[in-house]
Amino acid sequence: MKLDPLQYRDEVLPTDVALVRRIVESSGFFSTAEVEVAVELVEARLSQGTRSGYSFVFADAGGQTVGYSCYGPIACTECSFDLYWIAVEAQWRGLGLGRELLSHTERRVKALGGRRVYVETSSRRQYLPTRAFYLGCGYHEEAILKDFYSPGDDKVIYIRALDMMPKIDGALPRSISDARSRARDCHDAQLPRL
Ligand SMILES: CC(C)(COP(=O)(O)OP(=O)(O)OC[C@H]1O[C@@H](n2cnc3c(N)ncnc32)[C@H](O)[C@@H]1OP(=O)(O)O)[C@@H](O)C(=O)NCCC(=O)NCCS
């Protein structure tokens, strides 16, 4: 299937409630309760705005929305973000759209000062393609919480440390705190990335 160039939209509209339901249901992955959670995040954003802590990216191609992501800062952390949801409508999967959407979402996170993106999923066989997707997009497996969802169904946590290497411009640090901040950036940039 030929894909028109993607256009991204951050603004959340009331029509996105039905749209998110349609995209998430199309996956055939999620239980009714999980679909309701996905929809509730959109409703929270619509009613509470940025205070909800949920931001969205919608990917439009050829005049229709074909995928979306939902992300937000993790409370009580300095620069860690959660990727709560990413989904591409079933008929558009496997065309590179998810990778592009994730990459765009990471750029948004970076613009907001984020340095690490966390995402979690189930260890069940059904989620093998989802886990392959995260690994294929530069995430690495950080932790496994045994039997988290149910006996035999672990929670797998992936992370991507966004590249925050400061520009090397040869300029001397302007202050001790500037020097410390540069050192911290360099240290963080060495965190494992795939
Ligand atoms: C996961 C999902 C968002 C990926 O989007 P996508 O557009 O299908 O993925 P892409 O075509 O961009 O694939 C990017 C990379 O992921 C990996 N990948 C994607 N689908 C895969 C599959 N079924 N099996 C193995 N690897 C896969 C590959 O490395 C691929 O790169 P490549 O094509 O160069 O080999 C999409 O399949 C989806 O909506 N799935 C159902 C919902 C879901 O599981 N969401 C995540 C949990 S909230």
Instruction: Give distance in angstroms: CA of 153 to centre of ligand 1.
Output: 21
CATH number for position 68: 3.40.630.30
Q: Return the residue whose CA atom lies nearest to atom 29 of ligand 1.
A: 136
Verify that 123 and 162 share a domain, yes or no: yes
- The string of pLDDT tens digits covering residues 57-113 is 999 988 899 999 999 999 999 999 999 999 999 999 999 999 999 999 999 999 999
Same domain, 68 and 78: yes
Task: Map 47-83 to HEC letters.
Answer: HHHHHHCCEEEEEEECCEEEEEEEEEECCCCCCEEEE
119 and 92 part of one domain: no
Q: Which residue is associated with the tokens 């949920």?
A: 54
Which tokens belong to 181? 């901040």
Instruction: Give the total number of structural domains in the chain.
Output: 2
Cα 163 to Cα 42, 72, 142, 188, 192, distances in angstroms: 29, 18, 17, 9, 10
Edge-to-edge strands, sheet with 7-9: 7-9, 55-61, 64-73, 80-88, 116-122, 153-161, 140-150
Distance 127 CA to ligand 1 centre (A): 10
Q: For residues 150 and 64, state if they share a domain.
A: no
Q: How confident is the model at residue 5 (pLDDT cuts 50, 70, 90)?
A: confident
Domain-ending residue, one of 88, 113, 138: 113
Closest CA to 59 of 18, 26, 22, 105: 105
**pLDDT, position 3:** 67
The answer to whether residues 150 and 163 belong to one domain is yes
73 shares a domain with 27: yes
Do 14 and 101 belong to one domain?
A: yes
d(CA 77, CA 7): 31
Q: What percent of the chain has pLDDT over 70?
A: 82
Nearest CA, atom 14, ligand 1: 99
Give the distance (Å) from ligand 1 centre to CA of residue 114.
Answer: 23
The residue among 61, 92, 113 that closes a domain is: 113
Pocket test for ligand 1, best of 133, 137, 160 (most atoms within 8 A of CB): 133
Q: Which domain holds residue 17?
A: 1-113
Domain shared by 36 and 4, yes or no: yes
